Amino acid sequence: MKKIFSKKWLVILSSSVLASIGIAIACADSGDWEDYVNYYSSVKTEKYVDSSSIPFFYGANEFIYGTDLNNNIGRFTDQNTNDWYEYLGGALPLQTVDRLLHNDSAQALRSALFANLGNKNYQQNGISLRNGKVRDFIYFLRVAKPIEAFSTRELYSWYYDDNKDYEKVGQDITEQTLSAYEKYKGDAFVKNRLWFQVMKAHFYSYEKKNAIYFFDKTAAAQPVNTLYYRALSYVAGAYYQLKDYETSNYLFSKVYLDEPALRHLAVYNFHPQAEKDFHGSLKMAKNNAEKIALWTMLGLYGDELRAIKEIYALQPDHRNLEFLAATYLVGLEQRFNSKNATDIASFRQELKEIIAKDEWAIIDKIAREEKTTAPALWYNITGYMNMLNGDYKLAARQYQQSLEHTDKSAAFADQNRILQFINKLLSLTDISSQVESGLYEDLKWVYERVDKENIWDNESSPNRYYHAKQFARTYLYKLYLKTGQPEMAQLVAPSQSYYFEKQAQDNMLRLMNRKSNSNWVQLLIKDYTYTKGDIYYLQGLVAAWNNNIPEAVTLMKQAARNNVVTILDANPFNGKIKDCNDCDYEETQHTAYNSVTYLEKIQEMQAYLKQGKDVYNNATLLGNAFYSMSYFGNTRNYTINNPVIIASHSYIDKHYKDLWMSMSHARHYYETALKQAETDEQKARIHYLLSKVERNEYYVRTFLKDKEYFSGFDYYYRDDKSIPDFVAGTHFEALKQYKHTRYYQDVIRECGYFRKYITKNR
């Protein structure tokens, strides 16, 4: 999370604030608020925090769990509907109340009711104006709806972005709303809601300061409910527009202190522009509770430790200390996660530099004195700090002290085990079979928990295991590299580039096939991203690209025995005039080939070729087979199904680019067929198939030659449009002499490039 304030909180903030559907987000766009999801954290801090404060952990889309910043227009919809339904005493169904209040589809019905409000005998859609409370409800709607068009656009935004010219509530609407409020002498419930509409009208008008005057004049007569604090937020926003930041922020702290339903909005709209503004607000505080509210809001925005120190001095057992401490701990974890030195020694040194001495003194003092409402949380923090500082024995004791201050339930015991596991890992500077045995049960436990965990669910999971797993893999990777064990390093931190070298592939297969593997190694292999079948498949694919078919068949059979086999999307032996993969996929395949039978058929044809059997047809079919095996063919899934490569229909890593884009084997077999062609139809066919080879080689040579990787978009979105789409090769010229053949006519009909060529070169 990027802090809004500097470490010492002396930065003057930007006065330009982005309003996001009614929420004024401090100083920047939502990019300044990084999501706190489980993979950032190993500590479920919520379990240490009072439930009424769960929790003020920031995220780009959530402020409090379950509070979506993009849903502010509808935030009080249910409460509003239920309040009116209760007031009406069942005179209208709940669904009807909600529709009249909030649904645009009821506009015609509302207009009819407004027009007949003076007629007690009027009835429509089961709504009778004979009931006095129903009439008051319709009267309220007639007053409120004109303001809604302005307020729902930026609901609860206490000021507008100065760069946008928003239409505001006109004086006529403001005066009508005020008049309706003053004239109404009925139920206090309705009167209170009309009062709030006047506040809204003033705030969304051209004179926001009138919201301050009206509130000061009338608020004392209103019930102190949610509407009261929503109105007080408008007042705070109006003071902000007047650049009275001290009063504005003091009032937002009052909203924060007294109305939990608006707490998140109060914090988001808390905007001291400089240190003096905050101190000015602090002077307005009438008691310690208000001071603590101000310090809490400041702590949530910037310097938790400063706020923690001040609140602790005012009231050491105040519950707000806990979620500030939780926020601080999550910040520690993020600092921890951001360190990624290349070796163990430098990594541990960087961790030691995370904690400043003043931080240490404050947290250690609070933990030792045990005056807070959640000592377990503070011992976890001191344990975390000592772990980062390299005192692993002391960290282990403090984690245990944390557990002793809980109810020792499974959730707390598991949380303790996570931290102890990370601490144990950090204490290691070497790796051996003995160390692996000592870590085995913990690592297995973490892996099993992660398999059951929804890492995106912040609420239901009792603990967070995913980060512990990821950190274990990263740290073990460093240890294995340090001790010269690249295969083990690969098992804990998979990398596609590792498999660029065949020796590395063979080494990994040897390790995976070893029968004497320990429980530790078996655990890592089981969790590993790639399987033996994936690696055999990769080797078989590379062998096939290189036209080493006997070896490719053997390897693909090994892959199949390990449950990795690909069913081809189309017949790879067809050589069409037009390359249309989707068309080929839709055709009925009389023989469905897979990754093994495809190669076996190639092997069979190659054997016939060596024997001189039906050379033209076998060579043509082999040319088609290798053409299909390339990027330009109809069996791309033969390649992209392998996860080690990670290719797609429009991308492949540079290491495999030349193999996948190569036309050399297709060219060889087509040229062999051409030498054996006896009829003009046969010769026309092969010349055209070779022209496709020429076309593809032109694409590779012209558009992909200097690319680090292949992307199918390079051709379509090239910068230099002067480069021609296609330059005809020798085989288009050769094909001209076969215009009397049926195949030539088929080419003329299906190939636009050839039609253009013939037109220019008659």
Q: Token pair for residue 749?
A: 């009909």
Instruction: Average the pLDDT over each of 71-75, 260-264, 477-481, 603-607 and give the range with the smallest value.
Output: 71-75
At 651, is the pLDDT very low, low, confident or very high (cuts 50, 70, 90)?
confident
R_g over Cα of the chain: 36
Looking at residue 461, its pLDDT comes to 64
How many CA atoms does the CB half-sphere of 661 hold within 13 Å? 26
- Say whether pLDDT at 622 is over 90: yes
Looking at residue 326, its pLDDT comes to 86
How many CA atoms does the CB half-sphere of 198 hold within 13 Å? 28
**Phi and psi at residue 566, in whole multiples of 5°?**
-120, 130
Report the interhelical angle of 680-699 vs 615-629 (nearest 10°).
20
Query: What is the four-CA torsion angle of 665, 669, 675, 677, rounded to 10 degrees?
Result: -150
Looking at residue 153, its pLDDT comes to 56
Looking at residue 432, its pLDDT comes to 95
Cα–Cα distance, 126 to 365 (Å, whole number): 67
- Say whether pLDDT at 61 is over 80: no
The label of the residue with tokens 């559907």 reads 21
Looking at residue 335, its pLDDT comes to 84
Of 283, 284, 193, 206, nearest to 238 by C-alpha is 206
Cα–Cα distance, 535 to 611 (Å, whole number): 34
What percentage of the chain exceeds 90 in pLDDT? 64
Query: What is the four-CA torsion angle of 598, 603, 608, 614, rounded to 10 degrees?
Result: 30
Determine the Cα angle at 323 with ends 319 and 327, to 5°: 160
| pLDDT tens readout for residues 395-432 | 999 999 999 999 999 989 999 999 999 999 999 999 99
Instruction: Average the pLDDT over each of 73-82, 112-121, 559-568, 688-697 and give the range with the smallest value.
Output: 73-82
**Phi and psi at residue 165, in whole multiples of 5°?**
-95, 85
Helix (H, G, I), strand (E, B) or coil at 24: strand
| pLDDT tens readout for residues 194-215 | 999 999 999 999 899 999 999 9
**Bridge partners of residue 68, in order along the sequence:** 62
The secondary element (H helix, E strand) that includes residue 124 is strand 123-124
What type of residue sits at position 197? Q
Cα–Cα distance, 343 to 126 (Å, whole number): 76
At 588, is the pLDDT very low, low, confident or very high (cuts 50, 70, 90)?
confident
What type of residue sits at position 653? D
- Say whether pLDDT at 762 is over 90: no
Out of 73-77, 205-209, 624-628, the most confident range is: 624-628
Helix (H, G, I), strand (E, B) or coil at 208: coil
How many CA atoms does the CB half-sphere of 156 hold within 13 Å? 28
Give me the residue spans of the domains in the chain: 1-41+154-168+206-337, 339-427, 563-760
The label of the residue with tokens 């870590």 reads 439
Q: What is the mean pLDDT of residues 539-550?
A: 98
Q: What is the mean pLDDT of the chain?
A: 85
At 682, is the pLDDT very low, low, confident or very high (cuts 50, 70, 90)?
very high
Name 171's Cβ contacts closer than 8 Å, sequence gap at least 6: 205, 206
Looking at residue 39, its pLDDT comes to 44
Looking at residue 464, its pLDDT comes to 77
Name 743's Cβ contacts closer than 8 Å, sequence gap at least 6: 681, 684, 685, 688
Of 270, 230, 228, nearest to 248 by C-alpha is 270
Q: Token pair for residue 695?
A: 């076309």
Looking at residue 327, its pLDDT comes to 84
- Say whether pLDDT at 747 is over 50: yes
Name 163's Cβ contacts closer than 8 Å, sequence gap at least 6: 16
User: Domain 339-427 falls in which CATH fold?
Assistant: 1.25.40
Q: Do 362 and 307 meet the contact criterion of CB atoms below 8 Å apart?
A: no
At 6, is the pLDDT very low, low, confident or very high (cuts 50, 70, 90)?
very low
**Bridge partners of residue 711, in order along the sequence:** 651
Specify burial of residue 408 (Cβ count, 10 A radius: 0-12, 13-18, 19+).
Answer: exposed
Looking at residue 209, its pLDDT comes to 94
Q: What is the mean pLDDT of residues 711-717?
A: 56
Looking at residue 67, its pLDDT comes to 43
What type of residue sits at position 310? E
Cα–Cα distance, 442 to 420 (Å, whole number): 10
Instruction: Average the pLDDT over each of 62-76, 82-96, 567-581, 726-740 and give the range with the smallest value.
Output: 62-76
- Say whether pLDDT at 162 is over 70: no
The residue that leads in pLDDT, 679 or 33, is 679
The label of the residue with tokens 């999550």 reads 330
Q: What is the mean pLDDT of residues 18-29?
A: 23
What type of residue sits at position 327? T
The residue that leads in pLDDT, 16 or 344, is 344
Give the DSSP letter of residue 205.
Answer: B
**Phi and psi at residue 128, in whole multiples of 5°?**
-105, 130
Cα–Cα distance, 297 to 718 (Å, whole number): 52
| pLDDT tens readout for residues 434-483 | 999 999 999 999 999 887 766 555 455 667 788 888 889 999 999 999 99
Instruction: Residue 417: count other Cβ atoms within 10 Å of its Cβ.
Output: 19
Cα–Cα distance, 721 to 325 (Å, whole number): 59
The label of the residue with tokens 């400041």 reads 298
Q: Token pair for residue 696?
A: 């593809």
What type of residue sits at position 576? K
- First-to-last C-alpha distance (Å) of the chain: 69
Looking at residue 71, its pLDDT comes to 43
Q: What is the mean pLDDT of residues 329-352?
A: 85
The secondary element (H helix, E strand) that includes residue 376 is helix 375-389
